[in-house]
A and B are shown apart, each in its own frame.
Chain A
Amino acid sequence: MTEKQEVQAYLAALRAALGPVALGEREEIAREIEAHIEDSLQEPGAELAAVLERLGAAEALAAQYREGLPIRRASRSRSPVTLLRGALRLATKGVFGMLVFFAGAFGYLMGGGMVLAGVLKPIFPHNAGIWVTKTQVVSAGVLTPAPPPPAHEVAGLWFTPIMLVLGALLLLATTAVIRAALGASQRLQAYLRH
């Protein structure tokens, strides 16, 4: 291998190991490291092997770039999947993260369930609703069979809009809470580092 090929091989390994980093950022990192290698080789007595050794293995270098990336990226996302994955990553770091993850999962499940129940009401009018007796709420949601009397359904056709609105609010609130928690954990980590 010529020196040039060796540098290209190193950069290729770096790009590959940077996998989850966004393409634009990945290319910028590779360009910066390439410039570093070229500049280092200009210094008197420099040897490529030594320059690469001081940089460390491409995989180890990439791992340092990737550190904290899922949480950082997730805190800017609005996708439940990305947010929950970020929360899961946070959950491996401590009790706060675990609480965030379980609260997030619960919020999304409840919110999604409510929206689903609202949508199912027009299809199964007798099985979706809110059932009460004289004194208490017996059940709410989509049930087969529907609760027997004396429980009776009270929401009627209002069930759909109520569930859609409440479900959507819960989904939005969950998203906001996870984003805030991930962002706060970033700031907290930055603070703890200093």
Chain B
Amino acid sequence: MARLRTLPPDGEQGDRWEAQLRKGALEMAALASLWKSRLYGLEIIRFLENHSRLVLSEGTIYPILNRLKAEGMLTSEWVEAEAGHPRKYYALTESGRARLCAMAEAWTVFADGLSRLLQPVLAMEETR
């Protein structure tokens, strides 16, 4: 155990941090994709791919939808489709909408602040 821990010092921590960040961001993204209309899982995945550069492993989005539903942010409904099988559509609940609004505001403030903070870092990298 101890040896394993010493092997990847910063890399592993950095990766885990990015994974956490990505997961949190994905929840927000999933909520945002449902802002205008209800969608089913694959539509949400395609929507996120088309409207943002979020690359997601498709397996990630379904457990997130499941949890958001358990938290009362989403409702779901099975709808018959001409494809021959029903599809599970998700829609925002009132509290989902409220949370998304709060998240959008907090996110914007947070991202603006961080971008400003990181500007000198990025500038330095360019000159190197």
A32 and B103 alpha carbons, distance in the complex (Å) = 28
The interface on chain B, measured as residues whose beta carbon lies within 8 A of the other chain's beta carbons, has a size of 26
Q: B27 touching A193 by the CB < 8 A rule?
A: yes
Q: A68 touching B67 by the CB < 8 A rule?
A: yes
Q: A36-B41, A55-B59 are in contact. Are A194 and B88 (CB under 8 A)?
A: no
Q: A interface, by DSSP: helix, strand, loop or mixed?
A: helix
| Minimum Cβ distance to chain B for residue A85 (Å) | 19
Q: B interface, by DSSP: helix, strand, loop or mixed?
A: helix
A35 and B62 alpha carbons, distance in the complex (Å) = 12
Q: A35-B85, A194-B106 are in contact. Are A61 and B63 (CB under 8 A)?
A: yes
Q: B62 touching A36 by the CB < 8 A rule?
A: yes
A61 and B57 alpha carbons, distance in the complex (Å) = 10
Q: B85 touching A38 by the CB < 8 A rule?
A: yes
Is B12 at the interface (CB under 8 A from chain A)?
no
Is A67 at the interface (CB under 8 A from chain B)?
yes
Chain A residues in 8 Å Cβ range of B28? 194
Residues of A within 8 A of B (CB): 28-29, 31-36, 38-40, 42, 54-56, 60-61, 64-65, 67-68, 72, 190, 193-194
25 A/B residue pairs, CB under 8 Å, sorted by A: A29-B66, A31-B86, A31-B88, A32-B41, A33-B62, A35-B40, A35-B41, A35-B85, A38-B83, A54-B59, A55-B57, A55-B59, A56-B58, A61-B59, A61-B63, A64-B60, A64-B63, A65-B62, A67-B63, A68-B67, A193-B23, A193-B27, A194-B24, A194-B27, A194-B28
